[in-house]
Structure 1
Amino acid sequence: MTTTEATPVDTKDPVNAAILAVSEDKIQGFQADPFGEISRLSGVELPVVIERIQAMLRAGTIRRVRQTMLATNLARGALVAWVVPEEKLNATFDWMFKEDPFSGHVVIRSTDQKISASRYRLWTTLKVPQGYSLEKHCQLLCEKTGATTFKLLPAKRLFALGVGHVRRRGLEPGSKADVLADVTDTDIVELSELDWRVLVPLKREFAADEIKPNLWQARATEAGVSLEEFNRVARSLNERKVVGRFSTFLEHVKQTQAGEQVTRYNALFHWAVPVGRELEAGREVGRFHIMTHAYWREAGEEFGNVNVMGVAHGTDKDLVLAHKKAIDEHLVSIGIPVTYTNVFWGGRSEIKPSEIAPQAYAAWCRKMGVEPDAMKE
């Protein structure tokens, strides 16, 4: 038996849990030595951190390790709700996941309430590089798949963006930070050719064999720059709020090799609050520890004029609803009325990083039989 095979790979192992409590979403921004930082914050020695992350990645407990980007600042993006005939739903899901590198999360959702918006069963996240049209991209996807209608829901502001499934285990409903959530703008940042040359290898996920102390040297070589220059550009991207977190992403939808299912319920919460109070409500929602994502997004009349959305995960549906009830009650208690609320539950789900590089988009357009210039805004 190899060392890796003998290494515990389940998330409940105390050493793994200590590592994951940090590595899922606590390593913010660019770090020249991210595994060293995980070691420092978790109290686990660096060789053990590397061994455990390698083992969990090989076993599928961790589905990817990568430096995330704040893609909302790099590319035009939106949450997209799709209407797809039921008999074409799974085939359209497969196409979006396998054939469109610009669609990230692909989820089939349902809602407990019988409302007109329930016909939007397929939900995706979409990013297209600067200068290209989200609307045209979605129209092309309709032509290529069984989708008949779509609704673009771009984020106006972000209030929470993290994962931390291990860290969120056992949270009591109503658990929240003492301070309001920060507000992140979605202004687009323009990059130079050198910026892109560093960013493309910087954001690509790591294979298990690449998990090592001197993490960025090979990526600097790929970018054609020295390690010092690579780190300088990465820090500059970080200062311009382009870089997100360095993260080990757990397989939280499917059962892992260790027999675990980290979460069972993926809930997209909707709230409608009075116009003009979106920032206030979003900062309140985003302070609740259960929320992995919280945004100001506007969906219009068909969705009850919802303007604050968020995502929470859990293994027990009633507990997820108890968390939502605590948030609902908190909003009312501080004088923010909720005129509409709903939950869209996630079913079948696949997740991959959205591609954002302009050259990749041009190549994909040609593969689809479309001239890239025809897809510009």
Structure 2
Amino acid sequence: MNTTSRKLLNLLQWAFPLSGRPWKTLGEKLDLPESEVLAQVRALYDDGVIRQIGAIFDTRRLGYTSALIALRVEASRLDEVACAINRHPGVSHNYQREHDFNLWFTLAVPPGSDFETVAERLTDLPGVERVRLLPTLRLFKIGVRLDMERDEKHLDRDQAPSDLPTRPPRPLTLQDKTLIRVTQEDLPLVEEPFAQLAEQAAVTQEQLLAWLAEMQAMGYLRRFAAILRHRKAGFTDNGMLTWCVREDRIEEAGRIAGAFPQVSHCYQRPTYPDWPYNLFTMVHARSRENCERIRERIAEALRPLGVSRSAALYTLKEYKKERVKYFAETAEA
């Protein structure tokens, strides 16, 4: 992958232009013609590096209930259990991880659904020995941005995350839900992609772009961006690094951990007698060694808060990774 492709991937992840001719705008930043930008994006899709370009919405703000769920599954039944869980359309991520709790997945259910009933039904399977629901209690950071240009081992801490809504939310309308269904799909690789999406939704391009800006200001839309396949992009290892933090220091710890650019997700989650870790940080790196070095740096930063216990759960197998389709007519309750 050449230098220009790496710069392009960073722009697609971090600064996708919400404009009538986004590829032209990107080309101006890269000193490339619009046609060349489109050609490079198509090649990155063909190579499997780009998974999707589209709107990334905030699950909870849309009214969905979601949680991370940890299972301890009998080893001989792990594949069978994972396959059964994957059938639910609200399951977006499902991984085998290195731990006694060996299967971890995320579940989101639409407004009006009873989350605990759905989760109980979904996990009532032969071979499942223990279930732990781990909903988000506090969100400190969310947003996967793989830096394609710099070595993740040497990145300095950023400012504390501050992607806050700038406008009070209003209730979602039927048209909002139609536009969500349209914009959460893959962006067409044509010169004016938003015009094509607008036509599908029976609005003008100007109305669609204004709506995206409004959704972002209200916090419904987290960002419009490319999602990469980590391994194809060179990030072969990811670790769920978890920390045991005193309740009175959790907010400070979350700000510190979330300021590391290598951390894509940072949450407070509940604890159990057999799971004492309440701060979760996700790290993506080009090697296990790099993950461990980043873990050491986070541990050093948290040490003044009295944090000494942690657990690193590395992915052994990816069973499922895809976006939840919000307000889909086929969604299960």
Distance 1:183 1:56, change over 3 A: closer
Rate the CA distance shift 1:197–1:318 in 2: closer, same or farther, 3 A: same
Query: What is the aligned length?
Result: 329
The change in CA–CA distance for 1:95 and 1:247 in structure 2 (over 3 A counts) is farther
Amino acid at match of 1:94: C
CA contact (8 A) 2:78 2:127 kept: yes
* Partner residue, 2:74: 85
- The answer on whether the counterparts of 2:56 and 2:221 sit within 8 Å (CA) in structure 1 is yes
Q: Which residue of 2 aligns with 1:27?
A: 16
Instruction: Give the counterpart of 2:288 among 292, 298, 317.
Output: 317
Identify the residue that residue 4 of structure 1 maps to in structure 2. none
Q: Distance in 2 between matches of 1:76 and 1:188?
A: 18
* TM-score normalised per structure 2: 0.89
**Does 1:308 find its partner at 2:286?**
no
The residue that corresponds to 1:104 in the other structure is: 92
User: What is the SS of the residue equivalent to 2:83?
Assistant: helix
RMSD across aligned C-alpha pairs, in angstroms?
Answer: 2.5
Contact 1:181–1:287, Cα closer than 8 Å, also in 2: yes
Change in CA separation of 1:89 and 1:49 when aligned onto 2, cut-off 3 Å: same
| 3-state SS, counterpart of residue 150 of structure 1 | strand
Contact 1:126–1:354 under 8 Å retained in 2? no
Whole-Å separation in 2 of the counterparts to 1:145 and 1:39:
54
Compare 155-164 and 35-44 and name the one that shifted more.
35-44
1:237 to 200, 211, 215: 215
Confirm or deny that 1:293 pairs with 2:265.
yes
1:170 pairs with 2:151: yes
TM-score by length of 1: 0.79
Partner of residue 180, structure 1: 160
Residues 146, 354 of structure 1: alpha-carbon distance in 2 compared, 3 angstrom cutoff: farther
CA apart distance, 1:78:
1.1
Q: How many Å separate the matches in 2 of 1:182 and 1:233? A: 22
C-alpha deviation, 1:36, in angstroms: 4.2
Which residue is equivalent to 1:55? 43
State the distance in 2 between where 1:135 and 1:37 align.
46
Is the 1:292–1:311 contact (alpha carbons within 8 Å) kept by the matching residues of 2? yes
Is the contact made by 1:156 and 1:296 (CA closer than 8 Å) also made in structure 2?
Answer: yes
Deviation track 1:308-367 (CA, whole Å, cap 9, x = no partner) reads 1111112222221111111111122xx311142110111111310012316332xx3xxx
Match among 273, 276, 296 for residue 245 of structure 2: 273
- C-alpha contact 1:313 1:320 (8 A) present in aligned 2: yes
Q: Which residue of 2 aligns with 1:368?
A: none
> Does residue 228 in structure 1 map to residue 228 in structure 2?
no
Q: Please state whether the residue corresponding to 1:175 is helix, strand or coil.
A: coil
> Which among 109, 114, 121 is matched to residue 140 of structure 1?
121
Q: Which residue of 2 aligns with 1:360?
A: 330
> Residue 288 of structure 1 aligns to which amino acid in structure 2?
F
The answer to whether the 8 A contact 1:138-1:150 is kept is no
Aligned equivalent of 1:336, options 286, 305, 311: 305
| DSSP-derived class of the 2:176 partner | helix
CA contact (8 A) 1:19 1:44 kept: no
Distance 1:295 1:197 in 2: 30
Matched-pair contact (CA < 8 Å) for 1:25–1:164:
yes
Distance 1:267 1:189, change over 3 A: farther
Partner Cα separation in structure 1 for residue 217 and residue 111 of structure 2:
20
The residue type paired with residue 271 of structure 2 is A
Asked whether the equivalents of residues 282 and 296 of structure 1 are also in contact (C-alpha less than 8 Å), the reply is yes
Q: Is the 8 A contact 1:79 1:124 kept in 2?
A: yes
Q: Deviation per CA, 1:106-148, whole angstroms, max 9, x where unpaired?
A: 111014xxxxxx2x11111221112212211111212467545
Structure 1 residues 134-143 or 222-231, which shifts more?
222-231
Query: 1:232-289: per-residue Cα shift (whole Å, max 9, x none)?
Result: 3322222211112222222223xx5xxxx61221100101211122221111101112
8 Å Cα contact 2:85-2:123 kept in structure 1: no
SS at match of 1:262: coil
